[in-house]
Structure 1
Amino acid sequence: MTAHVLTACQWILLAGCIGASIYTMAAALAMPFFSARHQSVHHGRASSAGAALRSAFFPHSRPFAQGGVSVLKPLCGAEPRLYENLRTFCEQRHGHFQLVLGVSSPHDPAIAVVRRLQAAYPTRDIELAIDTRVHGSNLKVSNLINMAARARHDVIVIADSDIAVDADYLDSVAAPLADPDVGVVTCLYVARGVGGFWPRVGALFINEWFAPSVRVAHATGSRRFGFGATLALRRATLECIGGFDALKNCLADDYWLAEHVRALGLRTVLSRVMVATDVIEPTFGALWQRETRWLRTIRSVNPPGFASLLITFPTPWLLASAALTVSFATRAGGHAPCVAMIASASATAVCFGARLLLHLRASRRARTFWRDLPLVPLRDTLIALQWLFSAFGSHVVWRGARMPVGTPAAGRGGQLDSFT
């Protein structure tokens, strides 16, 4: 068989296999060395190795303008490790900070957790905001609007409720804001499965697909991101974009906050600080709902980027390239291998090795590597199916609320069409 007799479909499939193998290698190399050993947040305690690593990254790290920081954390329900995660924010080394913890119902179970926190840290400035007013369609942003009036400092840090951090977190994320050209500082995160099998699978979604894809995009120059794990900005910058009211009808509020700031001509900084987040979905259905919501959100803010995700699912492409190689070898009838067969075999080998390397670099310890290795093909295939499913549909479910997915409207508001 010679290469020129390949069908158009075979050429397209071969090109996809080659592209996927190149991407997988790039994703593996983009992951930081020692990310497992130096991940600093383990069950709410800071690791000295992690602190030393960040000192190397931020040799002159200091609080922004030596001023105060207001941390806004919208809460909804008593998550499994809510107290432990909130406690890490109370143990910051920063000299002057305030915690504002907000709920939208006087009956929210998170209130008891906050009261316990206030009792455990009586010297910390911890304020509980209970406000039932609803602003717009995004209930998280509605909560932030109610909390914002209580923030007293010039630097605002917004962090999701399921985030755990190191003791020097506030110092590190506030430091880049000393540069007037920096508008937003955001953080990637390492996922921890809390519970059984499906939380482990969900953690792989973040650690071995989402985080590497962000690092690849960052390495190629993209700065169009913002993550709810951490968004740090100056109060004046927030006011310039219209405050949280500009986001009250946005599905991807974290992305749009950073996008509005970039529209002011200010830079987004991806901090080298990595925080920890919990994956708690106990069932396949709950995990599927959460991850398809993420993918549909990506589709809503960046349709071309969503389409390009097709090459980011290693196992399906690995199987396709292996099948092509077998097909080419069989049809070659024992003759010298053609260019297409060499290309497909090379893509298979590169993709296989790169996927193992990616899993190795994303695993936090040797036991985790071997324990989760059999889950890798399942995880990759599941993401591919979720991507296909997420290409269709007009709604997502978030915190029990059904929200439509639309096309971002023109203008600074960045709102989504179809919100009524």
Structure 2
Amino acid sequence: MATAIELLTTLLTLCGLAYMVLALWGTRDFVHSVRRRRMADSGQYTPDITLLKPVKGVDDRMYAGLVSHCLQQYTGRFEIVFGVHSLADPAVPEIARLQAEHPEVAIRLVECPQRLGTSGKVSNLVQMLPHVRYEHIIINDSDIYVGPTYLQGVARYFADPKVGMVTAPYLGRTGAGGRELTVWAKLEALGISTDFLAGVLTARKIEGGIRFGLGSTLACTRTALAAAGGLEPLTEYLADDYEMGKRIAAAGYTVELCGECVETTVPGYGLKGYWDHQMRWARSTRDSRRAGYIGLGVTYCIPWALMTLVASGFALWSISLFTLVLLARVTVALTVGVGTLRDEQVLRDLWLLPVRDCFGLLFWVWSFAGDTVVWRGETFRLKNGRIERV
């Protein structure tokens, strides 16, 4: 039995090591493709764009994120349409403030009183869509912070008529200090920059592109969205971003991952908040990409290498293997997190990498133990990607 366990953990460790190589290969391919795209871009393709932002409440750094969308170095026309379920929402005064401080930007607020499905966000988007003026739309969350070249970086991909959707990588920005800078917030941000994006770039390389969207940026044409069935069928889905990209790809369009990295805010999680968020992500991914998710377990090479150390009785070869795995994992973290995302937080929290990977393996295992998720304080049951209140 001991020998069998040793062989199994060694095999899983080697599979994890192979995944690290694939992640580096995928990252290299992505960086080169972004460079080629930027070199080929004349900057003359600047279609008119509508930004759709469903909002609910006021999040940390929300206003700074809203302002960043107004400060775009973009020669085309663009507008920002906000959607709220009720005009009594706390976000409404913030939007009024934004309109007053940035009169040069066309900013509109739409009340979305109907609840068309379990997902309040998508329900709002369905009601916002008739107010859109332009063919090209970008959907992102209220806490997203973007750089001044964001619109141009996304728009350049639509010069190719085959492109139906453009999505963007993102990093999680923790609080600067105090109660917002918890160890759980650090683990969340570290996972986004060194684990999540590495998986996306590996899938992009292996599958010859991506066929899903990331909620940080869902840019598409209204024509492609209509061909994919519109937003109405997504009102019951938890991973609406994934489904939207999947359906646009199934309609015959290309989905592109652009080089414009954006930021999302990581709350000052306690253990329960961190657990709930990670389990929601894990079970959502499990339901969306079943085959790929099963293979995700082998990517946590550090805990597998630790198990191999113990199973082998700390034999010299297992120590060497653990050292090699640790070196490969750190290389991926620095290449993806620092080199690609420019996330300096990775350097600050690099020592937490083994802890993050051990938690990651735990979340992966536990994700198969149930179907419930917690989202904005409400508990839902997840089945085939759809959610229903418990």
| TM norm. shorter chain > 0.5 | yes
1:70-149 alignment runs, 5 A limit? 70-94=50-74, 95-149=76-130
Indicate conservation of the 8 Å contact 1:154/1:234, yes or no: yes
8 Å contact kept, 2:174–2:185? yes
1:41 is matched with which residue?
none
Q: Gaps (5+ residues) in structure 1? A: 36-52, 330-340, 409-415
SS in 2 for 1:93: coil
Distance (Å, rounded) in 2 between the aligned partners of 1:302 and 1:367: 30
The answer on whether the counterparts of 2:380 and 2:388 sit within 8 Å (CA) in structure 1 is no
Please tell me whether residue 216 in structure 1 is matched to residue 193 in structure 2: no
1:196 corresponds to 2:181: yes
Deviations 1:135-156 (A, max 9, x none): 1111110010111111100101
* Aligned-partner Cα distance in 2 for 1:55–1:14: 38
1:293-308 paired onto structure 2 within 5 Å: 293-308=280-295
The Cα offsets for residues 323-371 of structure 1, whole Å up to 9 and x where unpaired, read as 3454556xxxxxxxxxxx4xx4553232111122233332488974553
Deviation at 1:172, TM superposition (A): 1.6
Counterpart of 1:263? 250
In 2, Cα distance between the equivalents of 1:11 and 1:314? 15
Name structure 2 gaps, 5 residues minimum. none
Q: What is aligned with 1:312? A: 299
Mapped partners of 2:43, 2:217: distance in 1:
16
Equivalent residue for 2:148? 167
Aligned residue among 322, 325, 331 for 1:357: 331
- What SS does the corresponding residue of 2:259 show, helix, strand or coil? strand
* 1:165 to 1:369, Cα distance in 2 relative to 1, 3 A: closer
Segment of structure 1 superposing worse, 320-329 or 228-237? 320-329
2:72–2:148 CA contact under 8 A, matched in 1: yes
> Structure 1 residues 345-354 or 171-180, which shifts more?
345-354
2:220 is the counterpart of 1:243: no
**Please, what is the CA RMSD of the aligned residues?**
2.7
Number of residue pairs the alignment of both structures matches: 378
Q: CA deviation at 1:321?
A: 2.9
1:34-53 alignment, distance < 5 Å: none
Q: Provide the residue aligned with 1:205 in structure 2.
A: 191
**Amino acid of the structure 2 residue aligned with 1:118:** Q
What is the CA–CA distance in structure 1 between the aligned matches of 2:286 and 2:88, rounded to whole Å? 35
Rounded to whole Å, the distance in 2 between the matches of 1:6 and 1:348 is: 19
Cα deviation for residue 322 of structure 1 reads 2.6
- In 2 relative to 1, CA 175–283 (structure 1 residues): closer, same or farther, beyond 3 Å? same
Over the matched positions of the two proteins, sequence identity in percent amounts to: 32
Pair member with larger Rg: 1
Under a length normalisation based on structure 2, what TM-score does the superposition of the two structures give? 0.89
Q: Which amino acid aligns with 1:81?
A: R
Q: Distance in 2 between matches of 1:55 and 1:307?
A: 33
Report what 1:374 is aligned to: 351
